Structure formats: C-alpha cells, structure tokens
Structure 1
C-alpha cells in the first residue's frame, strides 16, 4: 500500500470532518454568534453550494498544473479556510470562511481520486479510490463525534483549529510523499471542456446525483426517525450513527474490491440492495434491533457505490479526468440537496417519517434504471464501456 494513499486518506479525513462537524456544533455556534439555529444551519447549505458550484471552476483553474501541485494548492486553500473559521469574528465572516474552505473540497476529491487510481495497477484502481474515500467515512465515524466533543469542551473554534493542524500535516505529507507522475498528460482548458460533450459523462453524473439523493433522503432525517418512530434516546441515536459509520466504512472497502472486478454489476447490485433495504426499513423501523440491523445493511450497501461511481465517471471522461471527476463530487452535493428536499417534502405532505425510506427507495430505483440505460448503451462510440 503506497504511503501516498494514506496521505490522501488523511486529507480526505480532514476535509470530511470540517464539512460535517458543523452539524454537531450548530447550537454552540448559534449561541456564540447570536444567530438562530436555522440561521446557523445555512452554514451547512453555504458549504454544500460552495462545493457544488466551486468545484468545477477550481478544477479548471488548476487544469494546467501537475496534479501534485494542484492538490498542494487546494490543501493550502483548505487550511486558510479552516483558520478563518477558527478566527471568525461574526457570522458573515464564518460563512465566508466556510465557502472558501468548500472551494477546495470538490476539486481535491476529484483530482485526488484520479491520482489515487494512477498510483496502483489498473486492476486495483477502484480499491485505491476506496482507500482514499475511507478517510471520508472515518471522518463520520471518528472525526465528527470527536470534533463535536472537543468543541463542546473547549469551544467550537478549537475544533477548526484542530482540523487546521490536521490539514497542515496532510499538506506536508503531500509535498513529501506524493510522487510526481512523469507520464502525466497536461490537459488544456479546451480539452477539458470539450470532453463534456460525451453523453456517457452526463448519464454517469446523473447516476451519482440519484444515488446521493437516495442516501440523503433517508440520512438527513435519520435522527427524527429513530427518535419518534423507533423510540431511541438521544444517546442511543449517537451510537446508531456510529454503527452507520462502521457500515459506511465496510461498504466503501467492499465496494472498491467489487468494482475492480466488474463495475456495471457492482453498481446494478448496489442500487437494487439500496432499494430493497430502504423499503424494508419502512416496516423494521418500529423495533430497535431490526432497525439497527437494517441501518447497518443500508449503510454498507450505500457506500459500496462511492468508489464505483467515481471510477465510472473517470472512465467515461478519460479526456478530462480532473474536471469530470470533480463534477462527480458536485453531483454528489446536488444529490444531497435533492434527497433532503424529497425527504422533507414527504414529511411536509403528512405522509409520516416511515414514508421517508420509501422515498429513498424510489430514488434508488431511478438510479438503477439510469444505470441499466448507461451500460446498455455503452457499446456506442460515445458511450464506451467503463474500465473493469
């Protein structure tokens, strides 16, 4: 296992922690800065929009740089953004700092996944990408609860100072251990943009958005579902989220290995599993043990798709790997917003929390249909088969 992959995973851990830890710190931030909880919640939205909109622009801005240099620049922006968060004097400065931090997120994961795939033989590319994204899953398992605990003990700013330190360590690791890829092709802006004419790319991005929509339709409302339907205590919700995090980590690793063997079958199987398990939660959510088992299976099945989806878009957009893989991260965030809206709309229409898993299952079915269409048409010149 190349040490450089560990450094990329550490970078992903830092980025994932700073993205999600704000959710656990919202009450502290709102109280300290004198804003409402919904107002503080816009810090989450601002970050997501910064990722979705800023990612392709940052990919284009760094397109002429070698990938190692691009990753170093992006991690530098991440460090500056987190330091600004820690030093923010008011809400507006914190929002600005969150958006600055988000600018590095999508492009780093996009370019980083290309680098990770190129560090290993072709038959291990998805596993390498999965290892990098393990940092993101560990951010949910360890980074978020530890960051929240630190913020509650020493003030929310201490969490962003801690993430800044992790970012500096990751930056030094990138500079020291990430190799220069001598055979790397420098892609100009025209080549990057013109490659987006491929229909296969947009089908693949649609698959990613629908996948993420299915995941976040359920994940966004998991706490009220557990509390109001299953009857789990707030402390119990924390342990359930830890269990989900373990499932996400396992799924990420297994999904990478499966995608290395057969990409299309992996994505097809994952979306079927997501639809079935999400539907099952509609009935199992009324009892504790069945709920815990179902959610672990759901988390494992769900994150098995992540490395496969990333490799899928890179295979579809070989002429513009930096931009296309970064757009995939934007598609993830578009799906996040879509899923949260769909789940909220189900609840707002009075269908109840137990209908949210069914909405998630419906989005998984749509992702499955799009997957079947994509790989059925892959025989055409514009829709070449994804790498196996």
Structure 2
C-alpha cells in the first residue's frame, strides 16, 4: 500500500517495493518515495503504484515506460474483431471512426502516434468532426465516438503498455427528437419508377431496391443476391450464412423466407445478365473502380426520390428527414416494415422474414410454423404502374 503525505507546498508518496529475494527465498523490499506538485497528481501516482504492486511488478515513471503506438493497437483490435466475426459494416464504421480520431489528434503517416494522445477532449473533437464538418446526424456521430471508446477500452483491458485509463462521454445525444415518417407503398413505388427511368430500364439499383421493397432486406443484401438463392417453384428465398449486408450475429446464420407475389412476377420477367439478380457485375464494372455498390446506388436513388418529390408523389421527410442523415436506400426497407405492421403482421413474424432476432422463439418455435406466407401476401403490387410493363434492362 502507498501513502500520501503533505510536505510544505508539495505532496510525498511513500511505498515499499520488492526488489528481489535473498538466498532463502525471502522477499527483499525497499522504501521508495516520490514528490508530486499537487494532491491530484499524488493520488494518481498512488493508484499507479498500488496497481503495479498488485500485478507484482515495480512502478516505473511514465518517461521510462514503453508506450503502445496507436497503429499497433488498432491492428490488434482489428484482429480481435475478426475473431468475433464482426460484419463488414462494423469494420467500415470502426475504420472511419479511428481515421477521424487520428485526424483530430494530428497523427500523420510519418509521425509517431503514442497511446497517450487519447483523452476526453479527443472524443469531443471526434463528435464535433462528424456532427459539424461531416454533417452527420447526432446518433450517427455518437456511434462513431462509441467506436473510439470501445477501441480505447479494449487496449486498456489488454494491458497494452502506456494506454491511459479509458474515458467515456455520457452527455452525447443518442437519438433525435423528431422521428422520421415511413414512406407508404405508393411513395416507394414512385421512387422506383423514377429510378427505372434514370437507369433506362431495370438496372442494378432499381432491381435491388425493388427486392428490398418487397422483402424488407437491406440494400447490401439485395444487390448481391444471386439467382441460385431463389426457388421459384417452391416460392422461397434463401439468404445464405454470412451473405453481404448481414449486421447481427443472428442474420449471419442465414435464413429462408417466402417470396411475395409481386417480386415473383418480377423475377420471372427479368433477364439473367449475371450471377446476381441485380446484374451489378456487368452494368457497374467500370464505375466500381471509383465507387462501391452502395455509393453508386445512393447517387441514383437520391435523384429518384427528388423526382418523386417534385412530382408530388412522395414526401421529402420520408427519405430526407430534418435533423437526420438522408436514407434513400433504407427508406424501402422502412416502407416494407411499416406497411406490414399496418396490416396487422406481428413483430415476431416481421423479424422472422428478415432474419432478425426473435428472442427465445428461435430456440422453441420453428420459423416456418409462423404465418409467413400469409404475411407476405400483404405486400401489394407496384402502385401506379404494372411491374412487367416497365422497360427491362
């Protein structure tokens, strides 16, 4: 145990430390002391000494300790996430968060990045960067800060040398005050029709988002969905384990669901131009050198929603809610969930159709014993135009 005593204008920390053992194996201890300019620094030193003593090692001053480079700590953290089988979206979000943390700390590729740079002020600067510079919604900016906090806490828990005690900001907003409305079937269909016109027919974006509108799946899953994942004879859609777009551990296990009749008619009418149903491998091959599949669809979906809004066919806040990030892709998934909920489909069934977690029901209730086909029967055909009459690609 260490003790703190005041001596004049300074504070003295005293403790006994083992420096070795004698011939009989008895510990050899010595008295040590160190002067501190304030009570706060003395208490901090006392905690460090007691922590080192509890671990059975001598206390060493910070100037003599090895300090972990943040890049090395980040590489080890990524290996930890790989072992946990985190999704690709998690790695992307963590990477963006850490890159911004490097930026606010002034870390350059050719400069050292000691872990001692981490502080509460860095976390606040990360939040400001996402909120004010990148114009992210408040919950998104908070999530990015939490990514940095988890990385910092993991390095400290792994006892990497020189990593300071982690801090956490408890006053960050977790959600916006205004809840965004969900698009109706008619509004989503209007955006789809304008998107088909922009692509000159059923292109990758319009196909993927029509699948999302009819199934409730995420865009990243829909755009990569393959033809061999659908059984039109049995009318079943299979999402295989670890397919793109799976975010939760439950989704990464894979699942199957019945196909809604409007989507089945589209699948029968679409031309098979590639292994994927959307055909992105053929259409976007050149463009993907610059943009990924999500960015490319985002750039097409935004003008489609704007055209639907200008024509009075869709509200602006269903895809571009005030105070929140735009969601031109997620709006179709939100339309499906809201549409089925309004027809009385239970939360349990909606979760089963999109591979979500249903709690204990996963262990005791067979998924296909639920009224899944009755639920997808509530998905209407395209409103305002017939799907098969639209130009194909």
Alignment TM class, shorter chain as reference: under 0.3
Tell me which protein shows more helix as a share of its residues: 1
Greater relative CO (CA pairs within 8 A, separation 6+): 1
Q: Please report the TM-score for the alignment, with normalisation by the length of structure 1.
A: 0.24
Q: Please report the TM-score for the alignment, with normalisation by the length of structure 2.
A: 0.24
Which has the greater radius of gyration? 2
Tell me which protein shows more strand as a share of its residues: 2
